[in-house]
Amino acid sequence: MRAGLSALALASLTLTACGGSDAAAAEDVALEPAAQEQTLAGACPANVTVQLQWQPQSDMGALFEMLGPGYAVDTENRSVTGPLVAGGKDTGVDLTLRAGGPAIGFQSVSSQLYVDDAIHLGIVHGDQLIAAAGSQPVTGVTPLLKYSPAILMWDPASHPDWTSIGDIGKTDATVVVSKEQIFPQWLVAKNLLKASQLDTTYDGAPSRFVGDPTIAQQGFANSEPYSYEEDTPAWNKPIEYQLVKDVGFDIYASNVVVRADKVDAMSSCLDKLVPIIQQASADYITAPDAANATIVDVIAQDVAYTPYSAGEAAAGAELLAADGLIANEADGSVGTYDTARTQHNLDELVPVLNAGGANLPAGLTAEQLFTNRFTDAAIGIK
């Protein structure tokens, strides 16, 4: 259990950017070329397009670490395009990051990969990756986060006796979550919550919690604790929360995925690109300010996004590091999969998902869903 984060100061950084609904490509910017092993031209599509699961924020920091200067914000399509860089050097291709969530009508990322061939990669949490295996299978090629930042949060003034998710389940308090979340059903299966407590109408807005602080509500540790305390005038006081991973829901989060039937066709690209993503994760969590400034700038250029402050970006990155949500594996690598853990996740979630009608195929194994085929175990956070 953690209390809300205190405000953090972040020096503003000046970035070259271009806005407008007709922005389709990055501006030409003179960049030093990347080394041959990091040159993606010829191996990857000329514009590597990634479908995000939400609007840009700190848990996607590695991807914005890879977005070079001269990027263009497309306000019509809720996307940003710029040179794809490795350590600030030009790989020879562009990178487009498309916002998810409300920007795609709350459709799943895996479904977008199946309806739009222009999207090459997606960002999918581990539980949703498993859930998609029945009808729209995708393969995780590297996780951006070692653990999920998902939380249940509550008002400490309304519930001074709550210190954990288990305490919530000992009451009849309403727990407001979004309908696509899987962890609430897992919590029910583990007898940490009661099914009767779940209200699946959460839409991301703070109004429900502010209006009725007796409820518990889902959130993300790198977002809501800071935004409620610092950037929500109707609240602006601490909340308490517990990470769902701390009660055993230990999925890999924000996995970079490819359609399962396109992994082989994408292999020459992934051989080079995945290590670049791993290094970007290590670089971001070590020195996040530049990528955070990019995220804040992209959000500021599009009024359709929920405002995202420099303070929230900085606090989010600090939280991801402090709580080990971006961290090395036991072998010192970052962005790789522990196969025993992914199999445990699968074994735990299949009964829960099938009880909800997922109809996952029999004999499904974690190796079919999460692969270290393209990762480099020598890359880690120093």
Which residues are registered as beta bridge partners of 73?
80
Mean pLDDT of the 69-82 span: 97
CB 272 within 8 A of CB 86: no
CB 301 within 8 A of CB 55: no
pLDDT in tens, 305-345: 999 999 999 999 999 999 999 999 999 999 999 999 999 99
The candidate with the shortest Cα–Cα distance to 272, out of 142, 101, 137, is 142
Backbone angles phi, psi at 275, to 5 degrees: -60, -30
Q: Is 314 exposed, middle or buried (0-12, 13-18, 19+ CB in 10 A)?
A: buried
Give the pLDDT band of residue 7 (cuts 50, 70, 90). Answer: very low
Helix, strand, coil percentages, rounded to 5, for the chain: 35, 20, 45
Give the pLDDT band of residue 195 (cuts 50, 70, 90). Answer: very high
Quickly name the fold that domain 150-247 has.
D-Maltodextrin-Binding Protein; domain 2 (3.40.190)
Domain boundaries along the sequence of the chain: 16-147+251-368, 150-247
Q: Do domains 16-147+251-368 and 150-247 have the same CATH topology?
A: yes
Q: Which residues contact 232 (CB under 8 A, 6 or more apart)?
A: 206, 210
Q: What is the mean pLDDT of the chain?
A: 93
∠ Cα 171 223 299 (to 5°): 145
pLDDT at 28: 66
Mean pLDDT of the 182-190 span: 97
Mean pLDDT of the 203-212 span: 95
Say if residue 128's pLDDT is above 80. Answer: yes
CA distance 169 to 359: 28
Q: Which residues contact 270 (CB under 8 A, 6 or more apart)?
A: 141, 258, 263, 373, 374
CA distance 308 to 302: 11
76, 77, 108, 119, 131 from 115: Cα distances, Å: 19, 16, 11, 9, 18
pLDDT at 4: 37
pLDDT in tens, 263-296: 999 999 999 999 999 999 999 999 999 999 999 9
Say if residue 116's pLDDT is above 50. Answer: yes
**Percentage, residues of the chain above pLDDT 70:** 93
Give the pLDDT band of residue 29 (cuts 50, 70, 90). Answer: confident
Structurally, what CATH architecture does the domain formed by 16-147+251-368 represent? 3-Layer(aba) Sandwich (3.40)
